[in-house]
Structure 1
Amino acid sequence: MKTLFRSLFAAALVTTAATAVSAQAVPAAPADTARIAFNPALINAVNTQGFEQFRETVRPLIAQMAGKKVVALGEGTHGTAEFYKLRFWLTRILMEEHCFTQVALETTYGGARRVDEALHQRTAPALKPLMQKHLLSIWQNQETAEMLTWMQAYNRRHRGHQVSLAGIDAGFGADNAQLVQQGLSQRNPTLRPHIEQLTKSAAFQDAMWMKLNEKSSKFDQPAWLSNGLAGYAAADALLKALPTARLPRAQREGLELALHNSRMVFDYPYQVKFNRRESSRDSLFAAMTQQLVRKPGSKIVLWSHNAHLSRQSTDPADNNGGGAGSFLERMFPGQYFVLGTSTAFGTFAATPQVFVSPLSPMAAYPLPAPKAGSWENSLAQVSSPAFFFNTHQLGTQDVQRPQRLVGQTPASVSQYADFQLSKAYDALLFVRTTTAATPL
């Protein structure tokens, strides 16, 4: 059975919004409920009171990340303030000290690009309205805004070393289509039918995703399939024609990324029609990341859920190749580092809508105590309130146990997946008690 994280769109196609969460239940945890007593030598306490204190306490962790091409920073819960803040600080260190130039979120490329444009303008336009229009609501919070504001200020001070925001997801397609329309519509009249089709298909699919949050909505699979195949064909045709368009190099590269992501937006109907299988969302995350770091020397930081960035699938029955981390490890052997994050108690921000969009309302919800036998149950007993450890040093304690994977809905607090930590992450950052992110 697929989890909500790994097959969000496929789940939406076979269930109503009212039943989708219950249909995504994770298999039961193993019977072993004994707590693990961690070796104190493995525990690296982290000071979270301020950036400079944090930077000093995570030096050993940064040393493991610095030489990698792709560093993935996971979150065990969507909507947790501390995970946004600490990942921002880690990203800042990697950008300031180790030549990382991109951070990519679990959101569509075109939406992130619209926000990124504001990060490079000397006039420093307001970020809040752009975030609310173009980013999924899980990123519409004060903590993410703090990172983007820092990036905007950094770019004004470092004109020769710019940092950028990107997206690796493939959900809503209108922003991609708009970028393509603005960049190509005046270049070649023969491309206009493809541009019009891409725009039409993206608008249709975006509206369909939004309707899935309405309890009375009925999914029209034939229309979805026909529209998606037309959109995929249009994006493919434009991508193949792009080299013939006389464009400045930077503009051409941006349009190429938008078109690659547009094809991914319609990969779901494409795979159903031609390969008779579900689309692998994690493989799309990895493929988009690969596009973003094609240039020699490119280094990127990824922000997404633990369930995506893990090397290990959240579902033992999954045959799509593992988490995005598994695909990325094969693409970049030895150049991928993944940090998982986890918490035991507190609150998190979530939406009652099963299909998260830029318009999904977010509110704070409590986290129940972790279940007996879970990693969180054992980690909560460590004396330090915040710490990290290298998963490959766990030794005989590196056993398969349930780890909580909280998504964007209140009901997701009951979701667990069995993980042997060293097979999932290189390191894990644990904060015992956390708080809900602050909506914009």
Structure 2
Amino acid sequence: MTSALTELLKSAAQELPPIESDQFGAKFDVFGDSRLVLIGDGSHGTSEFYRARAAITKRLIEKHGFTHVAVECDWPDAHSIDRYVRQNPHQSKDVPIRVFDHFPRWMWRNAEVQDFIDWLRAHNASLPPPSRTSFNGLDLYSMSASIRAVIAYLDNVDPTLAQSARKRYSCLTSWLSDPSSYGLSSARTRTAACEAGVVKMLTQLLTHRLRLATHPENGTAFLDAEMNARVVRDAERYYRAMYEGSSASWNVRDAHMFSVLSRILKLSPGSKAVVWAHNSHLGDARASSNGRDRGELNLGQLCREAFPGEVSVIGCGTHAGTVAAAHEWDEPMEVMDVVPSRLDSYERAMHDTGLPSFVVDLRPLKTPPMLQRFIGVVYRPSTERSSHYIETVLSEQYDAFVWFDRTSAVHAFETVQPKEALSMGETYPFGV
């Protein structure tokens, strides 16, 4: 089966020029008419995946009118980046802004991402503000920061409502340093003690939308407060769902990502977005054993269902090399060797083509069910089969797949010197 698949893939493969070549992004013009282009990565620590994704995105923005970049990171971090790339004022010029300053730092605190952010700021500089491409976070791990953001916003525009927010969010105060412990407590007591408060707070914000959004000191801040309130509501549910079943929290998280993406698109009718996330979030879950056997849904599936015919999904994969990852959650990053792909996997079939890098348009192909590898921020080479492979149907998961036979770890850092003068500070990715 692998031999036949290798021949099929080789016959359909288009070899890729170097990622830095202007012609690399042009290979993906065929997807430029889509409203959503979802670009996955086979790991959260591979340089080639990040650089390829950036090159494709630049092309889609410059040549095909894409106006949003939405990524698998938290809303508050991305909002700081968004103010930078769209050249909006920072909230404070006195306090340094630390973004992505939590595990897994290397996922977004790396040279590859900074290069893209610098490019996006320069690209936006020549455009009027309404035409500038935004940078948005889709994830929900920022409960504490999101609560602070909602309260800070309301302190400025509606102190009475700010007091209401403090009261409603106070239920979560003792859990903010370790939100998963809230889920454990809820499971033990079989209660959802804080659910009503966080739902009511979002409802209150939306009820007062027109008044708050037209406040003379508001500007565009209401949207930020609204999205943070949505994060708090869904994060509360997510941490409870962690103890409800194998797929419950996963489904809450990906449904949240979809709701944020949908809200971004709704703000600008006719706008187009590029999404960056892991292959496991973007490759259609209905074509995987996790979807079939465990009831998982994901962002790619939800996008295809909501925007039929308007979504293109592109995956990335590799055979061997190095990757930045941790052995366990919250452990330090290491540069690890990637175990060569299994003989019974899609990755081995691609490796056996003998091509160092290529893209294959999967839409006219039909591939058999086989194992596919997924490496996240945690990599366990000693249990790779059980930890990192699931059965998928590649041609139903993705519209195209980008292959790099041998890859290297991202160039991660904790603090980087910005391109501004050193006196401006040392925060990533900008000085304040």
Category of TM-score, reference length = shorter chain: 0.7 to 0.9
Q: Which residue does the alignment assign to 1:133?
A: 101
Q: Is the 8 A contact 1:172 1:202 kept in 2?
A: no
1:359-370 mapped onto 2 (5 Å cutoff): 361-370=332-341
1:264 aligns with 2:237: no
In structure 2, distance between residues paired with 1:139 and 1:211? 26
Alpha carbons of 1:426 and 1:206: their partners in 2 closer, same or farther (altered >3 Å)? farther
User: 2:319 is matched with which residue: 321, 341, 344?
Assistant: 344
User: 2:124 is matched with which residue: 139, 155, 158?
Assistant: 155
1:13-412 mapped onto 2 (5 Å cutoff): 36-39=5-8, 40-56=10-26, 58=27, 61-63=28-30, 65-121=31-87, 130-133=98-101, 136-137=104-105, 138-160=107-129, 161-197=131-167, 200=170, 204-209=174-179, 219-221=184-186, 225-227=192-194, 229-245=196-212, 246-247=214-215, 248=218, 250-268=220-238, 278-279=248-249, 280=251, 281-294=253-266, 295-313=268-286, 314=288, 315=290, 316-320=292-296, 322-354=297-329, 361-395=332-366, 398-411=367-380
User: 1:416 is matched with which residue: 368, 385, 389?
Assistant: 389
In structure 2, distance between residues paired with 1:274 and 1:345? 36
Q: Is the 8 A contact 1:112 1:134 kept in 2?
A: no
3-state DSSP of counterpart to 2:401:
strand
| Count of residues in Structure 1 that have an aligned counterpart in Structure 2 | 391
- Comparing 266-275 with 305-314, which one deviates more in the overlay? 266-275
TM-score with structure 1 length normalisation? 0.79
Deviation at 1:141, TM superposition (A): 1.1
In structure 1, distance between residues paired with 2:125 and 2:49? 26
1:147 alignment partner AA? F
2:203 alignment partner AA? D
Deviation at 1:252, TM superposition (A): 2.7
Q: Is the 8 A contact 1:109 1:168 kept in 2?
A: yes
2:275 alignment partner AA? L
Alpha carbons of 1:201 and 1:408: their partners in 2 closer, same or farther (altered >3 Å)? farther
Deviation at 1:376, TM superposition (A): 0.3
Alpha carbons of 1:327 and 1:49: their partners in 2 closer, same or farther (altered >3 Å)? closer
Give the RMSD, CA atoms, in angstroms. 3.2
3-state DSSP of counterpart to 1:406:
coil
In structure 2, distance between residues paired with 1:347 and 1:79? 9
In structure 1, distance between residues paired with 2:5 and 2:402? 17
In structure 2, distance between residues paired with 1:434 and 1:219? 39
In structure 2, distance between residues paired with 1:329 and 1:252? 29
Cα-to-partner distance string for 1:111-159 (whole Å, 9 max, x where unaligned): 211222222337999xx96334378521111111111111122222323
In structure 1, distance between residues paired with 2:368 and 2:41? 21
Q: Is the 8 A contact 2:7 2:353 kept in 1?
A: yes
Q: Is the 8 A contact 2:205 2:226 kept in 1?
A: no
2:329 alignment partner AA? V
Cα-to-partner distance string for 1:327-376 (whole Å, 9 max, x where unaligned): 11111111111101100100111123426xxxx63221111011111000
1:383 alignment partner AA? G
Q: Is the 8 A contact 2:20 2:55 kept in 1?
A: no
Q: Which stretches in structure 2 are left out of the alignment for 5+ residues?
A: 414-432
In structure 2, distance between residues paired with 1:338 and 1:74? 8
Alpha carbons of 1:35 and 1:374: their partners in 2 closer, same or farther (altered >3 Å)? farther
Cα-to-partner distance string for 1:255-277 (whole Å, 9 max, x where unaligned): 333322332222326769999x9
Deviation at 1:283, TM superposition (A): 1.9
Q: Which stretches in structure 1 are left out of the alignment for 5+ residues?
A: 1-31, 213-217
3-state DSSP of counterpart to 2:137:
strand
3-state DSSP of counterpart to 1:383:
coil
1:78 alignment partner AA? H
Q: Is the 8 A contact 1:173 1:203 kept in 2?
A: no
Cα-to-partner distance string for 1:196-235 (whole Å, 9 max, x where unaligned): 14654665544114889xxxxx953458943455334333
Q: Which residue does the alignment assign to 2:419?
A: none
TM-score with structure 2 length normalisation? 0.81
Q: Which residue does the alignment assign to 1:215?
A: none
- Comparing 291-300 with 240-249, which one deviates more in the overlay? 240-249
Alpha carbons of 1:49 and 1:339: their partners in 2 closer, same or farther (altered >3 Å)? closer
